């Protein structure tokens, strides 16, 4: 996936993951290679050794995965659980049957309140009883944990003082722990186990009965209805390739322009056709919701009259050019609204229950949501394929069908996703320079004499990293250039803004992160400030944004898509990823200025071609 690197080791990495405590555990000092982008050791690294890990006994590591099976070994009861055989003590009331029922059976307490019974219960004796009956029995939980890197599982021992057995024992629970490698504490097939010292992340299964893999030996046909959990079964080093669907019910970005896939538009044939979704993000950005076509046409006529007046006078050239641009934008908007109304008239009449899939379907905009289900079972996964956006744009950086490399990584956060994206981009540029000598000579002679310098800059430079708020401040201070869209906090950065930062301000690749939540997809993880989200874009000089990525929200939210929420309900893990536009990398490598000249069969707004 990315260039080969020296193995990363776990030294001092646990300090970043573990919460601060009064007495910090000693830092991890192990030479066991860690996963490049998740600060953990994958199980294959331990279990594929000839000694099955025995030579690593005593090492402290971080591992993560999903519980396959478990058992609890109970120890002696806590002293507070000893029965009170001496009778009531001075100053304390004895505990009655009614008090026990009130504390142990909430519904019984409700009935007592309804009938006015039990209000005399002494507060102190009730609290003492609660403490006595609810104090946990000390026990150890033995887990069989798998992270998808190999078929074998690893035994992990977790004391009940670290996590409640009822939470971690359920099949499908996600757990990230730091602990010591030791010889097994129980007889069995395992050569080593991990004695947990810290639980760094716990993705619980909210409802065991609703988790489909809770049942053992499910037939394969039953798993078809749970495709997002199927990769966690055993019937499925590094990044694993996953082919995501081209046809989907999901709007992966929440506000993108999509192609509908339907057989209903032309009732005389059974050929699958496509129509663009009426509601577009560009319409929102330019006009705002609620703007009528009639008002736009009235404004259009006023702007035409103004332009004619400027042409008849001796107005300065800048005012005339501004009026021409303003008229063009308004005319484009009118065209969008006309197309919107026409398509609404068509789609309003469609009953998708009669359609081929019995529901509304689209060509996929992004495969990252589907990749998540495999990342939450196999660790690091990627996909490569076409993605489709019905964007009404004549941009030199956009076509309707673009090929994307998409990656998703379990147990990773924003910084790891940025690191992986940067490594991949540098690796691709370095590979082109080292393996495409003849092509580079042609490009240097016929297209761009600075191409090697630009590629080398990507490989060798340290990318500039700035938050969105700083990018806005920098652009606001620009006096020598007038941007088409005003720069304000909360406004999406345009291609013009992004390229100006990379080409003119920093003159090298720029990483912009922490965007306002309104301009990024719904699934991106919200930051602590409540205003921004953990998203990032990689901007390259002369090309623009070639990578867009994020850390995704692992916490359960009330947003859309039931299957997507299932991943949050059952063994959720922190995860992050990105999408790299392959066609834009071809632009970067060749120096060609228009994406339509590097795509074999370009499909763009208004032009289908072959």
Would the pLDDT of 215 be above 70? no
Per-residue pLDDT reduced to its tens digit, 18-77:
444 444 555 555 578 888 888 899 998 898 888 989 999 999 999 998 888 889 988 766
Which of 454, 410, 399, 402 shows the shortest CA–CA distance to 603? 399
- Of the candidates 309, 332, 354, which is a domain's last residue? 354
Mean pLDDT of 133-157: 81
Q: Give CA–CA dist 104/250, Å, rounded.
A: 45
- Degrees (nearest 5) of the Cα angle 426, 429, 432? 145
Looking at the structure, tell me whether residues 314 and 189 fall in a common domain: no
Quickly state the pLDDT bin for 499 (edges 50, 70, 90): very high
What is the per-residue pLDDT for 416? 93
Q: Is 339 a member of any domain?
A: yes
Would the pLDDT of 109 be above 70? no
Q: Is 589 a member of any domain?
A: yes
Mean pLDDT of 577-605: 89
Lowest mean pLDDT among 118-127, 378-387, 576-585: 118-127
Mean pLDDT of 510-524: 91
Q: Is there a contact between 510 and 539 (Cβ–Cβ < 8 Å)?
A: yes
What is the per-residue pLDDT for 209? 52
Looking at the structure, tell me whether residues 57 and 88 fall in a common domain: no
Q: Is there a contact between 558 and 360 (Cβ–Cβ < 8 Å)?
A: no
Q: Is there a contact between 428 and 540 (Cβ–Cβ < 8 Å)?
A: no
Q: Give CA 469 to chain center in angstroms.
A: 22
Looking at the structure, tell me whether residues 170 and 83 fall in a common domain: no
Q: Is 229 a member of any domain?
A: no
Query: What DSSP assignment string belongs to 279-321?
Result: --HHHHHHH-TT--HHHHHHHHHHHHHHHHHHHHTT--HHHHH
Instruction: Tell me which of 207 and 245 has the higher pLDDT.
Output: 245
Per-residue pLDDT reduced to its tens digit, 536-573:
999 999 999 999 999 988 775 544 455 556 655 655 67
Looking at the structure, tell me whether residues 383 and 523 fall in a common domain: yes
What is the per-residue pLDDT for 84? 46
Looking at the structure, tell me whether residues 514 and 586 fall in a common domain: yes
Dihedral of the alpha carbons of 479, 485, 489, 491, in degrees to the nearest 10: -160
The verdict on pTM exceeding 0.75 is: no
What is the per-residue pLDDT for 41? 93
CA atoms within 13 A on the CB side of 81: 10
Quickly state the pLDDT bin for 154 (edges 50, 70, 90): very high
85-89, 205-209, 223-227 — which one is most confidently predicted on average?
205-209
Q: Is 218 a member of any domain?
A: no
Instruction: Tell me which of 154 and 2 has the higher pLDDT.
Output: 154
Mean pLDDT of 331-342: 74
Q: Give CA–CA dist 487/494, Å, rounded.
A: 9
Which of 236, 172, 176, 175 shows the shortest CA–CA distance to 210? 172
Which of 277, 280, 395, 366 shows the shortest CA–CA distance to 548? 366
Query: What DSSP assignment string belongs to 76-127?
Result: SPPGGGS---S-PPTT-PPPPHHHHHHHH-HHHHHHHHHTT-STT--HHHHH
Looking at the structure, tell me whether residues 282 and 343 fall in a common domain: yes
Looking at the structure, tell me whether residues 499 and 543 fall in a common domain: yes
Would the pLDDT of 327 be above 50? yes
Would the pLDDT of 85 be above 80? no
What is the per-residue pLDDT for 111? 44
What is the per-residue pLDDT for 342? 66
CATH (domain of 50): 2.40.50.140
502 by Cβ neighbours in 10 Å (0-12 / 13-18 / 19+) ranks as buried
Q: Is 304 a member of any domain?
A: yes
- Of the candidates 112, 134, 156, which is a domain's last residue? 134
- Of the candidates 161, 185, 204, which is a domain's last residue? 204
Mean pLDDT of 206-233: 51
What is the per-residue pLDDT for 159? 93
What is the per-residue pLDDT for 576? 85
CATH (domain of 401): 3.30.930.10
Looking at the structure, tell me whether residues 575 and 550 fall in a common domain: yes
Which of 384, 378, 369, 541 shows the shortest CA–CA distance to 448? 541
What is the per-residue pLDDT for 534? 95
Quickly state the pLDDT bin for 278 (edges 50, 70, 90): very low
Q: Give CA–CA dist 25/38, Å, rounded.
A: 20
Domain count, the chain: 4
Per-residue pLDDT reduced to its tens digit, 393-443:
888 888 889 999 999 988 889 999 999 999 999 999 999 999 999 999 999
Q: Is 250 a member of any domain?
A: no
Instruction: Tell me which of 371 and 314 has the higher pLDDT.
Output: 371
Q: Is there a contact between 576 and 416 (Cβ–Cβ < 8 Å)?
A: yes
Instruction: Tell me which of 290 and 259 has the higher pLDDT.
Output: 259
- Percent of the chain topping pLDDT 90: 30
CA atoms within 13 A on the CB side of 376: 29
Looking at the structure, tell me whether residues 590 and 494 fall in a common domain: yes
Looking at the structure, tell me whether residues 102 and 18 fall in a common domain: no
- Cβ contacts of residue 558 below 8 Å, gap of 6+? none
- Mean pLDDT for the chain? 75
Q: Is 527 a member of any domain?
A: yes
Residues paired with residue 65 on neighbouring β-strands, in sequence order: 175
Would the pLDDT of 224 be above 60? no
What is the per-residue pLDDT for 384? 92
What is the per-residue pLDDT for 193? 94
Quickly state the pLDDT bin for 280 (edges 50, 70, 90): very low
Would the pLDDT of 370 be above 60? yes
Range of the domain at 118: 79-134
DSSP H helical ranges for 105-246 = 106-114, 123-134, 165-168, 220-223
**Cβ-based neighbour number of residue 340 at 10 Å:** 18
Looking at the structure, tell me whether residues 337 and 417 fall in a common domain: no
Would the pLDDT of 277 be above 50? no
Quickly state the pLDDT bin for 238 (edges 50, 70, 90): low
Q: Is 8 a member of any domain?
A: no
237-241, 446-450, 533-537, 549-553 — which one is most confidently predicted on average?
533-537
Looking at the structure, tell me whether residues 553 and 463 fall in a common domain: yes
Quickly state the pLDDT bin for 104 (edges 50, 70, 90): very low
Mean pLDDT of 215-234: 50
What is the per-residue pLDDT for 315? 60
Q: Is there a contact between 141 and 169 (Cβ–Cβ < 8 Å)?
A: yes
DSSP H helical ranges for 145-257 = 165-168, 220-223
């Amino acid at each position: 996936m990315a260039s080969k690197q020296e193995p990363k080791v776990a030294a001092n990495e646990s300090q970043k993951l573990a919460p601060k405590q009064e007495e910090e555990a000693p830092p991890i000092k192990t030479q066991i290679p860690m996963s490049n982008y998740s600060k953990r050791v994958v199980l294959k690294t331990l279990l594929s050794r000839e000694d099955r890990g025995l030579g690593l006994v005593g090492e402290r590591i971080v591992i993560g995965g999903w519980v396959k099976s478990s058992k609890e070994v109970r120890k002696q009861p806590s002293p507070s659980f000893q029965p009170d055989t001496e009778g009531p003590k001075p100053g304390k009331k004895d505990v009655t049957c009614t008090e026990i029922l009130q504390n142990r059976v909430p519904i019984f307490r409700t009935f007592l309140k309804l009938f006015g019974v039990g209000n005399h219960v002494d507060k102190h004796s009730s609290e003492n009883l609660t403490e006595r009956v609810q104090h946990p029995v000390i026990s150890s939980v033995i887990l069989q944990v798998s992270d998808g890197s190999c078929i074998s599982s690893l035994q992990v021992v977790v004391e009940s003082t670290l996590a409640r057995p009822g939470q971690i024992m359920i099949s499908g629970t996600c757990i990230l722990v730091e602990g010591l490698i030791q010889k097994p504490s129980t007889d069995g097939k395992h050569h080593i186990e991990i004695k947990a010292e810290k639980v760094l992340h716990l993705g619980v299964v909210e409802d065991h009965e609703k988790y489909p893999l809770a049942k053992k030996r499910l037939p394969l046909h039953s798993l078809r209805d749970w495709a997002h959990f199927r990769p966690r079964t055993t019937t499925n080093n590094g990044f694993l390739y996953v082919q995501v669907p081209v046809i989907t019910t999901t709007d992966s970005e929440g506000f993108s322009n999509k192609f509908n896939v339907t057989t209903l538009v032309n009732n005389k044939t059974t050929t699958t056709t496509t129509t663009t979704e009426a509601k577009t993000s560009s319409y929102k950005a330019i006009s705002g919701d609620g703007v009528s076509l009639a008002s736009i046409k009235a404004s259009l006529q006023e702007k035409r009259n103004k332009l004619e007046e400027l042409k008849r006078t001796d107005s300065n050239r800048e005012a005339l050019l501004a009026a021409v641009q303003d008229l063009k934008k308004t005319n484009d908007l009118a065209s969008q609204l006309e197309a919107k109304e026409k398509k609404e008239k068509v789609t309003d009449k469609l009953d998708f229950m009669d359609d081929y899939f019995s529901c509304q379907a689209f060509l996929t905009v992004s495969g990252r949501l589907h990749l998540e289900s495999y990342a939450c079972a196999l660790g690091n996964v990627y996909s490569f394929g076409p993605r489709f956006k019905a964007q009404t744009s004549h941009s030199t950086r956009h076509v309707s069908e673009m090929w994307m490399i998409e990656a998703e990584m379990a147990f990773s956060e924003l910084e790891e996703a940025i690191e992986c994206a940067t490594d991949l981009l540098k690796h691709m540029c370095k590979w082109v320079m080292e393996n495409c000598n003849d092509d580079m000579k042609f490009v240097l002679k016929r297209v761009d004499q600075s191409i090697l310098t630009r590629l080398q800059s990507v490989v060798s430079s340290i990318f500039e990293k700035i938050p969105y708020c700083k990018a806005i401040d920098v652009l606001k201070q620009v006096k020598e250039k007038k941007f088409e869209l005003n720069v304000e906090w909360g406004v999406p950065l345009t291609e013009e803004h992004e390229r100006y930062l990379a080409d003119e301000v920093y003159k090298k690749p720029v990483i912009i992160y922490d965007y306002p939540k309104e301009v990024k997809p719904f699934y991106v993880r919200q930051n602590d400030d409540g205003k921004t989200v953990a998203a990032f874009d990689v901007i390259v000089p002369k090309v623009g944004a070639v990578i867009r990525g994020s850390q995704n929200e692992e916490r359960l939210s009330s947003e859309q898509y039931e299957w997507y929420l299932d991943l949050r309900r059952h063994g959720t893990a922190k995860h992050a990823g990105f999408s790299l536009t392959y066609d834009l990398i071809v632009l970067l490598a060749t120096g060609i200025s228009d994406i339509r000249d590097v795509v074999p069969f370009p499909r763009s707004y208004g032009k289908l071609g072959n």
